[in-house]
């Protein structure tokens, strides 16, 4: 057991999955986690999961300056200790670390139109690296980057206090960890960014965890028709659980998917959400929207390729926008999302298809690569 003390100065040695270099299996190592400094929180990670953004950094971006690193950003845990100046959190608090911080002081945090934060930009504005310059993690005498400021593939991590959300002590951490990324990202893209309307028709591209959460968001917003688009037919039964009414596999058609959807919906859908991170799908999602008022939201992450469309698609009245973390201001919104789960207004359990340990993280990565899972919970530590 760990000690619940307010200010401590010891280095913790613990297990973590280290990505020493790109496109290689993660290695379970003993690492050192330094104590939290001013305005920092050290967290014991209880549950985490592999998200597509982890795979993107490891297998697609492969930026040489982004390694060695400890991946992981979708997680939940318990505050182990806090640094000087931290008053909002106490040892023993249940928390969800946030990959988009909320300082509550900058012009973005004070503006309800966005969940971006200037303080967060300054901490992670290094293209391709996807980590702040400072880190509290080391291994074998080498510095380990903290992926998007969180690094949850570790038994312990240190996070800036403005990137932590305190949640209900009754919340089961092996379920609500999903709110740390995938569910919030997809659900919020529908209800906050697209602002899906009652009675509308929606199309969601990609039935991974984010896409399924977007389907759930469309349903909860009152959409009457929700079309799930994916090339893996095994995903369609799961999509139905979250509210999908129609299912389209682009491989079943010899015409562009945008044309297929236009024919199904008398000209196009009111809202489309792209949740694959593929630029060609982003264009298809836009072109699937009806002229005049169609809204298409880019949700899937990539920074490797440009997106393009013909100006007429936008001149005709379609709107093309993006969404990060579902537009939620993390410290303010995450506790409410946890409460929504406890009140059975938001599904979480249904996303979890496999349960493994941190030592099996490479198995979880392979399952996500092959589309054999929605979310695999990695049980890191007991509550």
Spell out the per-residue pLDDT of the chain, length 383, in tens: 444 445 556 999 999 999 999 999 999 999 999 999 999 999 999 999 999 999 999 999 999 999 999 999 999 999 999 999 999 999 999 999 999 999 999 999 999 999 999 987 765 667 789 999 999 999 999 999 999 999 999 999 999 999 999 999 999 999 999 999 999 999 999 999 999 999 999 999 999 999 999 999 999 999 999 999 999 999 999 999 999 999 999 999 999 999 999 999 999 999 999 999 999 999 999 999 999 999 999 999 998 899 999 999 999 999 999 999 999 999 999 999 999 999 999 999 999 999 999 999 999 999 999 988 999 999 999 98
The whole-number pLDDT of residue 126 equals 75
The whole-number pLDDT of residue 206 equals 97
Asked whether residue 267 falls in the same domain as residue 374, the answer is no
Note down the domain range covering 307. Answer: 194-322
Q: Is residue 145 part of a domain?
A: yes
CA distances from 238 to 220, 225, 243, 273 (A): 17, 16, 9, 18
Give the Cα separation of 196 and 201 in Å (integer). Answer: 9
The whole-number pLDDT of residue 7 equals 54
Asked whether residue 20 falls in the same domain as residue 143, the answer is yes
Please say if 139 is a catalytic residue.
no
Asked whether residue 204 falls in the same domain as residue 172, the answer is no
Asked whether residue 316 falls in the same domain as residue 367, the answer is no
Q: Are strands 352-357 and 375-379 parallel, antiparallel or unpaired?
A: parallel
Q: Is residue 121 part of a domain?
A: yes
Out of 88, 104, 105, 122, which one is annotated catalytic?
Answer: 122
Asked whether residue 18 falls in the same domain as residue 66, the answer is yes
Asked whether residue 33 falls in the same domain as residue 174, the answer is yes
The whole-number pLDDT of residue 245 equals 98
Buried b (16+ CB within 10 A) or exposed e, 44-72: bbbbbbbbbbbbbbbebbbeeebbbbbbb
**How many structural domains does the chain have?**
2
Single residue among 276, 305, 322 that ends a domain in this structure: 322
Out of 181, 218, 289, 373, which one is annotated catalytic?
Answer: 181
Out of 14, 42, 74, 287, which one is annotated catalytic?
Answer: 74
Asked whether residue 107 falls in the same domain as residue 221, the answer is no
Q: What is the CATH number of the domain that holds 290?
A: 3.40.50.720
Please say if 218 is a catalytic residue.
no
Single residue among 287, 305, 322 that ends a domain in this structure: 322
Q: Is residue 349 part of a domain?
A: yes
Asked whether residue 266 falls in the same domain as residue 286, the answer is yes
Asked whether residue 342 falls in the same domain as residue 301, the answer is no
Asked whether residue 331 falls in the same domain as residue 317, the answer is no
Q: What is the CATH number of the domain that holds 40?
A: 3.90.180.10
Please say if 275 is a catalytic residue.
no
Out of 53, 150, 185, 276, which one is annotated catalytic?
Answer: 53
Q: Is residue 187 part of a domain?
A: no
């Amino acid at each position: 057991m760990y000690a619940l003390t307010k200010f401590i100065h010891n280095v913790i040695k613990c297990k973590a999955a280290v990505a020493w270099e790109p496109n290689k299996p993660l290695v379970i190592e003993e690492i050192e986690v330094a104590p939290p400094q001013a305005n920092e929180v050290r967290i014991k990670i209880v549950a985490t999961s592999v998200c597509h953004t982890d795979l993107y950094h490891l297998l697609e971006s492969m930026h040489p300056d982004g390694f060695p690193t400890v991946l992981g950003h979708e997680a939940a845990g318990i505050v182990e200790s806090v640094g000087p100046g931290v008053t909002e959190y106490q040892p023993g608090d249940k928390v969800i670390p946030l990959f988009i911080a909320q300082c509550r002081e900058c012009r973005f945090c004070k503006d309800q139109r966005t969940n971006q934060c200037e303080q967060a930009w300054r901490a992670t504005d290094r293209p391709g690296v996807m980590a702040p310059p400072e880190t509290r993690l080391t291994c074998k005498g080498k510095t380990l980057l903290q992926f998007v400021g969180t690094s949850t593939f570790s038994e312990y991590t240190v996070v800036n206090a403005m990137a932590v959300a305190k949640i209900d002590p009754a919340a089961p951490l092996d379920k609500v960890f999903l709110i740390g990324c995938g569910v919030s990202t997809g659900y919020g893209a529908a209800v906050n960014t697209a602002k899906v309307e009652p009675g509308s028709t929606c199309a969601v591209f990609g039935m991974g965890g984010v896409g399924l959460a977007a389907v759930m968001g469309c349903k909860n917003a009152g959409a009457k028709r929700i079309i799930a688009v994916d090339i893996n037919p095994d995903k369609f039964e799961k999509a139905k659980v979250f509210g999908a009414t129609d299912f389209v596999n682009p491989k079943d058609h010899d015409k562009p998917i945008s044309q297929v959807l236009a024919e199904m919906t008398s000209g196009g859908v009111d809202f489309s959400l792209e949740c694959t991170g593929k630029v060609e799908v982003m264009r298809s999602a836009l072109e699937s929207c009806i002229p005049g008022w169609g809204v298409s939201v880019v949700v899937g992450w990539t920074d490797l390729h440009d997106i393009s469309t013909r100006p007429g698609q936008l001149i005709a009245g379609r709107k093309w926008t993006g969404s990060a973390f579902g537009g939620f201001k993390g410290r303010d919104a995450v506790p409410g999302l946890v409460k929504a789960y406890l009140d059975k207004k938001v599904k979480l359990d249904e996303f979890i298809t496999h349960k493994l340990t941190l030592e099996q993280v490479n198995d979880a990565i392979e399952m996500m690569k092959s589309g054999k899972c929605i979310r695999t919970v990695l049980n890191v530590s007991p509550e």
